[in-house]
């Protein structure tokens, strides 16, 4: 009975072993599974490397974009721009915690917080119009090199050169704008000074011209009111050689009082030299007989000259004293309303004689 039980137990064990062996895989199947696992591991590793590379490229692009943003934010503040660029650099490198950065520009240094000069260093030069102006530097403190060349990626070398180029371009642009603004400020200041000097000069010239007119008016008034009447009376009284001297004296005094003749020639271009000379005598109060005696002409000729002068000055057929009008117009005094010729009368006076007659007929 016991032997039979042992036999049955052995049969059961054998059956179980056969069943287990039947379920176990063959060697070729095991090799296929190993190869499959290796491929999966290689794919996972490749995906991990690709993910890391993409993450690094994103960091680099973010760095360049940040620099462009900082340029807009601190365009008129070079110091703040450079410091902000330094602060954003460590975040763009592979080992952020171990990285520190420094920018040197024209004897000024800008560093990150807790800056330490590490064993591993990479740098790029900053240049401007005058040549080398500074450098961009990134350091690693305690990092194991990932390649024989060091812990830095080749893409990071390209990134630091791009950062240096952008910093160089921004700083040169800032300097150009600053120089332009300073030049514009200097030009505005010089323009303001020139305007003030011009105003002062105009005031001085105006005062000088006013004083000049006052002196001329005073000289002419003294000659015309005090000396000329005496000279005209003396010229009427003397004869012969003495009269020639008096005539020469009168002509010399008239040259001194030339503003009257100049004003007559300027305002009334149609007056002839003879009419200007007779107008001078009329203005000085000489009568028709005295003028005729001095000019050695008849009184009728003097009256004809008077009529021509009145006609050319627009005073014909008007109750205006010619001597008073000439004195007022030459001295610069305002004329009474009844002595000012109208525009139509002035046009008739300046028109040719034939046209004046025709216009007067049509006006009638």
Find out whether 346 and 313 touch, Cβ atoms under 8 Å. no
Least confident window among 52-61, 143-152, 275-284? 52-61
Q: Is residue 117 part of a domain?
A: yes
Judgement on whether residues 51 and 172 belong to the same structural domain of the protein: yes
Q: What average pLDDT does this structure show over 293-311?
A: 87
Q: Is residue 239 part of a domain?
A: no
Asked which of 180, 210, 237 is the last residue of a domain, the reply is 180
Find out whether 87 and 69 touch, Cβ atoms under 8 Å. no
The CA distance from 89 to 110, in Å, is 12
Q: Is residue 127 part of a domain?
A: yes
Alpha helices, DSSP H only, in 223-238?
Answer: 228-237
Q: Is residue 243 part of a domain?
A: no
Least confident window among 89-93, 109-113, 175-179, 275-279? 275-279
Q: Is residue 36 part of a domain?
A: no
Asked which of 161, 180, 199 is the last residue of a domain, the reply is 180
Is the pLDDT at 140 greater than 70? The verdict is yes
Is the pLDDT at 352 greater than 50? The verdict is no
Judgement on whether residues 279 and 159 belong to the same structural domain of the protein: no
Each residue's pLDDT tens digit, 176-206? 988 898 999 999 999 999 999 999 999 999 9
What CATH number is given to the structural domain containing 76?
3.30.450.40
State the pLDDT at residue 12.
Answer: 67
Backbone angles phi, psi at 65, to 5 degrees: -65, -40
Each residue's pLDDT tens digit, 235-264? 778 877 677 778 767 777 776 666 555 555
The CA distance from 105 to 135, in Å, is 7
Asked which of 162, 180, 198 is the last residue of a domain, the reply is 180
User: Bigger pLDDT: 132 or 346?
Assistant: 132
Is the pLDDT at 336 greater than 70? The verdict is no
> What is the distance of C-alpha 320 from the center of its chain?
59
Structural domain count, the chain: 2
Specify the 3-state DSSP secondary structure of 138.
Answer: strand
State the pLDDT at residue 6.
Answer: 63
Q: Is residue 125 part of a domain?
A: yes
pTM: 0.46
Q: Is residue 15 part of a domain?
A: no
Each residue's pLDDT tens digit, 210-227? 998 888 778 777 777 778
State the pLDDT at residue 1.
Answer: 47
Judgement on whether residues 74 and 162 belong to the same structural domain of the protein: yes
Judgement on whether residues 169 and 262 belong to the same structural domain of the protein: no
Judgement on whether residues 156 and 261 belong to the same structural domain of the protein: no
Judgement on whether residues 263 and 175 belong to the same structural domain of the protein: no
Is the pLDDT at 45 greater than 90? The verdict is no
Judgement on whether residues 55 and 176 belong to the same structural domain of the protein: yes
Domain span at 326: 257-363
State the pLDDT at residue 51.
Answer: 64
State the pLDDT at residue 138.
Answer: 92
Q: Is residue 16 part of a domain?
A: no
């Amino acid at each position: 009975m016991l032997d039979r039980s042992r036999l049955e137990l052995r049969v059961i064990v054998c059956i179980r072993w056969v069943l287990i062996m039947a379920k176990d895989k063959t060697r070729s199947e095991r090799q296929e599974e190993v190869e499959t696992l290796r491929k999966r591991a290689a794919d996972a590793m490749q995906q991990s490397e690709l993910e890391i590379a993409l993450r690094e490229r994103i960091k680099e692009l973010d760095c360049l974009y940040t620099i462009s943003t900082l340029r807009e934010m601190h365009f008129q503040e070079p110091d703040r721009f450079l410091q902000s660029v330094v602060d954003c650099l460590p975040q763009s490198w592979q080992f952020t915690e171990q990285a520190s950065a420094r920018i040197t520009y024209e004897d000024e240094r800008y560093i990150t917080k807790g800056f330490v000069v590490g064993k591993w260093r990479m740098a790029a030069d900053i240049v401007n119009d005058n040549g080398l102006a500074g450098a961009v530097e990134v350091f690693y403190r305690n990092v194991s090199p990932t390649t024989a060349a060091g812990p830095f990626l080749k893409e990071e070398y390209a990134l630091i050169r791009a950062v240096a180029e952008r910093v160089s371009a921004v700083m040169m642009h800032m300097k150009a704008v600053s120089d332009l603004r300073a030049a514009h400020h200097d030009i505005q200041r010089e323009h303001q000074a020139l305007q003030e000097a011009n105003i002062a000069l105009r005031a001085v010239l105006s005062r000088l011209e006013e004083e000049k007119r006052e002196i001329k008016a005073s000289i002419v008034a003294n000659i015309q009111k005090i000396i000329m009447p005496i000279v005209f009376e003396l010229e009427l009284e003397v004869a012969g050689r003495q009269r020639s001297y008096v005539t020469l004296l009168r002509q010399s005094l008239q040259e001194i009082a030339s503003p009257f003749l100049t004003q007559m020639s300027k305002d009334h271009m149609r007056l002839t030299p003879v009419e200007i000379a007779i107008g001078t005598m009329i203005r000085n109060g000489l009568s028709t007989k005295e003028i005729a005696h001095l000019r050695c002409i008849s009184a009728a000729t003097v009256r004809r000259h008077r009529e021509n002068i009145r006609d050319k000055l627009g005073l014909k057929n008007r109750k205006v004293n010619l001597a008073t009008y000439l004195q007022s117009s030459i001295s610069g005094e305002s004329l009474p309303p009844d002595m000012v010729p109208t525009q139509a009368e002035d046009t008739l006076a300046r028109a040719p004689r034939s046209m004046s007659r025709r216009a007067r007929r049509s006006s009638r």
